[in-house]
Structure 1
Amino acid sequence: MKRLVFILACLLSSPASAQERFSHQSIQLQTDRIFNNLVKIRREFHENPELAGHEICTQKVIAQYLLDLGLEVDTNIYGHGVVGILKGGKKGKKIAWRSEMDALPTDHADKAPFKSKNKGIQHGCGHDIHMAIGLGIAKVLAKNKAYLSGTVYFIFQPEEETFIGAKGMINDGLFSKIKPDEIYGLHVSALPVGQVMVKPNEMFAYQRRVRIKLKNELSKEEANVLTKKIHSFLFRSTANSKPWEIHHMADPKIGLTNPNTIFKDYLFMDENFINRSKNNVLFLETYLYETNSTYLKDIIPKIKQAIEDSGYKDQLLSVSFTQENPTVINDEKLTNAASKTLQNIYGKDVIVTDHGQVPFFNDDFAYFQQKIPGVYFLLGGSDIEKGIIAMNHSPDFQVDEECIRTGVKCFSSLILDRLNKN
């Protein structure tokens, strides 16, 4: 009788024991097992990059990979996007993970031995890394789907570099087909490999493109003097700082991890205005970067004031924004919960707090966040000792592929933890 009771107890306890085996420790082990294969996949993406709107082969590779994992796959949501649906063994929360697919039009030097085979096109922003991480997370979680409580959506988004893919997917009915409660994504950056950076609210500065129209009565020299005055009139930053020097973003003394970072509380414009004339109208155009959303409404009046103070009131025709993309804004509650989760699982060193806002860059992940609470992370991809600097969109952009391991284990664990918190 005692033996029968023991056997029954073992049988009854086995599902729980199996679920316990799918732990954060097992995620690390499984990530290590598939790491080399993910590196191979990343390099294949790197060798075969496709521009925004042309991600044809990329789509096929991703869709087949997800099908082989047993996921439901939808390739009929805007452009060459792919959505993989992983249903867990139990009902629960619905979580989405976003990865971008497109490459850049560039002829920058590429030191990698697995160079692009497509002339003038490169994965110079790291989307090949993002896709490999997304596929890695899908593989780890799919292998253990019986123990997942809920559903995970893997959104592979086209056309991020042109800032239209996310909005296109939404307008094409993405969220009528899937209904996530939360959404997460990342971008590889120049931070040290092994680090994940995040903060609540704005991750990037607000970017605006300004167009000034004047009667074409100014010489080129007068126009250059005027634009410099406008730049000086609007400029704001902390003392003696140069927030446009983006290569300092990982500097521990003045970079994003320092509470006294130069990358906070600033407004600056690109000094090199585009200067062109048409039909007796002078067009002056440039980009500006502002960290405080409440100040955006004051920019156009200030530009007008600077022009009038320079003696060109009668020549001024108009000042307007010709581009006003939204910026990535992280949900505060989810960000704090995610940071705490990753610190508890992988230690305090893996998560670093972002104290600033990055200029120049942005991500149309912002459109997803307008519909669903979400968090966007910066993933370190640099190793200074190896000479690897993951500064996106720059010559000699390289990524330490160890960041794939960091991304897969950390965010597989995060998704598992969030699914368990119903």
Structure 2
Amino acid sequence: MEDASVLLDGARIAYAGPSSGAPRASEVTATYEVPVVMPGMWDTHAHFLGVTGLNLEDLVRIPPQVSTARAVKDAEAALMAGFTSIREAGGLGVHLARVIDEGTIRGPSVYAPGAIISQTGGHADLHAYPLAWMHGYAESGGFMHLADGVPECLKVVRAQLRLGAKVIKVCASGGVLSELDDPIHQQFSDEELRAIVGEANRAGRIVMAHCHGQPGIMAALKAGCHTIEHGSYLDEAAADMMLERGAILVPTRFVIERLVGAAKDSGLPDYAYRKAVDIADRHLEAMRLAVAKGVRIALGTDIATSGAESGVPWGMHGGEFPHLVEAGMTPLQAIESATANGPLTLGPEQAPPSGRLQEGLDADVIALARNPLDDVGILSHAANVTMVWKKGELVKNSPDQSSP
């Protein structure tokens, strides 16, 4: 829409529409004219880990004081890139959310699961470490929590809710960064997955399911998981079930490209590099199938590392947009995946009123140097995001330093 106005009243949007229809504000504290304005963006799959490398063992090698300090900087990097909301996928997010909300540090709104729930020997298990050590790590606040059997699954979900989790994260298949499991294989039994979903739903939380292989995708969907993360081996049957059940795909192509491309120089183990190469082509096929079938997609990156030169660095969230377009989305659909679709990944009870420029919704708004409908790639560069309002507060106001 051209010649449009957005009026903010505190933390809410008071008006969004044609300038000719904008109400006269009795008290206007500031007025800005910008080339483009749009809703603040969502990354619905990222990790506040405070690590600089891509080896899962770094999670336990780095002192928590160091990782926390890095994560504080990462939160600000996301906000400056125009991402006003993060659905975290396991890490420090459940704690950062608290200090961001109270105003102690600056960052996006964070909706986090606490620890990642894995079966023994699963994706969120350090396979070379003694089991007793892994259980102790979880009990002391670690990011990975092992559970086997329905009673343990129920208990670990409750433990994350006790921390303040807004969503529950489970590994329903093997992964890339984990050493000994296979991304194709299902993890957790059907009964265990149903128990996890049931307990989460009882508390008004949805379950986000890490899934690469088709068996894990199908099991997660049948159990009632709300979002499928990665979806590398999604096929026609899985896509049809996602449509039937209203599930959302968060494909995270950005991390696949980084693992195959630049990340081998960032401490990525050889076994993880080989796995990433093995799934890369199939993952893009799955994305294209999902787009063609009309599966709802939300932008997620799997960003997890600290520092601009690290493997999958915070602040580069917009790097997912070109991959979504490559998979068949229009620029507008790609933008919708990072705006209107973002809150939907939290389910009806936890979704905040954001993601659109509409009266009464959260005043999460960004201004851009250029129109992303002409080139969605401009959203890959934080410099093109010239202004950011989070819940009505102007947190970034930069001169035009746009990047190509």
- Give the TM-score band, short-chain normalised: under 0.3
The TM-score with structure 2 as length reference comes to 0.26
TM-score of the aligned structures, taking structure 1 as reference length: 0.25
Question: By percentage of residues, which structure has more strand?
Answer: 1
